[in-house]
Amino acid sequence: MKRLFLAALLMAGVLSASAQTKGGGISEEMLSRISKSYAATPYQKALKNALASTSIATLAINSDNLAMIDTHFSHRVPTRGITDQKSSGRCWLFTGLNVLRAKMISKYDLPGFEFSQNYNSFYDQLEKSNLFLQAIIDTRDLPLTDRKVDWLMKNPIGDGGQFTGVSNLIMKYGVVPKSAMPETYQSNNTSQMANILRQKLREFALELRELKPAKAMERKEDMLSEIYYILVECLGVPPTEFEWARYDKSGKLVSKKTYTPKSFYEEYIGEDLEQNYIMVMNDPSREYNKVYEIEYDRHVYDGENWLYINLPIERVKEMAIASIKDNTAMYFSCDVGKFMDRSKGTLDLNNFDYASLFNTSFPMDKKQRIQTYTSGSSHAMTLIAVDLDEAGKPKKWMVENSWGASSGYQGNLIMTDEWFNEYMFRVVIERKYVPEDILKMLEQKPTLLPAWDPMFAPEE
């Protein structure tokens, strides 16, 4: 009897395997079994009807979590005004300038202030064009099918980026007030300009690959002149000198002077952004307490590749709390689209219940989400507040966003500490808030990572 039972099991296995096509495709028999798994119960029919005319996010709203998060914060960096990047991918630049803006407003007690994002965007696009063209010259002996050349051709330019763009561009070109170089339609809506620039750069790349190095360098300057022309037409001429009047909160004139972009930066900020800031990451897919560098992940050819220290989440929080307590905002980036309630402006793991909606589960942890491209940093914002409990542990955090004052909670987003653990990726901290043992890690030789690593798409 036992032998008959085993034989029947083996035969069932053979029949099941034969139901698949030889190459692993879906056979008619397999499709029949799969389709029968949908029972078409009244519940399933009702859900299918609802999904036919309603967004998944709306149907997944967790009705047990409709109440607004408490908006009190025990520690908050004072800020004034909300910026708006409009239809552009410049969150990294808005965030970096917002960190400096908060310092300037606080130091000089200004009624409000905004740096010109358009000014630094202009030089960002020019420098990225040079970075791409020079990289093409550097790799001209590699075939087009080489992974590095292939990546370059796929990613010649964009307006996304990260903090090294902020530090390198400002230290090289300075800053100007928004009044000195305001936004244009193209700076607020960058997709068409970006398409034109990508097309020209790829065209230039093919030409450069056919030239000898000396001739290629000479030709590159002509190419950059064409790019400069396009940028001026789209964004305007970046000022080399301007006049700016400073008023106090009561509207009284304090000073009125003529500046260059660099002299303006030196007078009102004066920090060495390239030396005074440390980027820390929480990436559980890689070894902690190690330093990593990302190849070609910079905005300026002669600037710095993105360098960061990978740390456990609690070490990141320790430094972020110290900075906020000292009224210093930070550059912060995360996977903003996950569990975001736009109407309330909250980032909370309990905002949506996709598991119940589809009768399934989503068991991947942060490490697995990174490894499978399910999650990664997508957006930069300015970290400005934390709410600590009686034991000094964080309950929630708040960031100043760059999507306009009507977006989220008064232009900000509030995140629970649980969400912070799962979807926060990096923070840029001033050296004075970084413990000595972490600073010492910078003495390590960095592990070089390729530009196409899943964690390092530009923040937009």
Q: Which of 168, 310, 351, 401 is catalytic?
A: 401
Helix axes 117-138, 147-154, angle to 10 degrees: 150
Residue 109, Cβ density class (10 Å: 0-12 exposed, 13-18 middle, ≥19 buried):
exposed
Asked about 334 being catalytic, the answer comes back as no
Distances (CA, A) of 292 to 279, 283, 288, 429, 456: 10, 11, 10, 16, 12
Q: Which of 98, 334, 379, 412 is catalytic?
A: 379
Asked about 118 being catalytic, the answer comes back as no
Cβ atoms of residues 135 and 156 within 8 Å:
no
Q: Which of 91, 118, 168, 299 is catalytic?
A: 91
SS3 annotation, the chain: CHHHHHHHHHHHHHHHHHCCCCCCCCCHHHHHHHHHCCCCCHHHHHHHHHHCCCCHHHHCECHHHCCCCCCCCCEECCCCCCCECCECCCHHHHHHHHHHHHHHHHHHCCCCCCECHHHHHHHHHHHHHHHHHHHHHHCCCCCCCCHHHHHHHHCCCCCCECHHHHHHHHHHHCCCEHHHCCCCHHHHECHHHHHHHHHHHHHHHHHHCCCCHHHHHHHHHHHHHHHHHHHHHHHCCCCCCEEEEEECCCCCEEEEEEECHHHHHHHHCCCCHHHHEEEEECCCCCCCCEEEEECCCCCCCCCCCEEEEECCHHHHHHHHHHHHHCCCCEEEEECCCCCEECCCCEECCCCECHHHHHCCCCCCCHHHHHHCCCCCCCEEEEEEEEEECCCCCEEEEEEECCECCCCCECCEEEEEHHHHHHHEEEEEEEHHHCCHHHHHHHHCCCEEECCCCCCCCCEC
Backbone angle region of 245, left / alpha / beta, with phi > 0 → left and psi within -120 to 50 → alpha:
beta
Block residue for tokens 């007078």: 267
Asked about 91 being catalytic, the answer comes back as yes
Distances (CA, A) of 417 to 180, 333, 385: 40, 15, 12
* Residue 430, strand partner residues: 277
Residues that are catalytic: 91, 379, 401
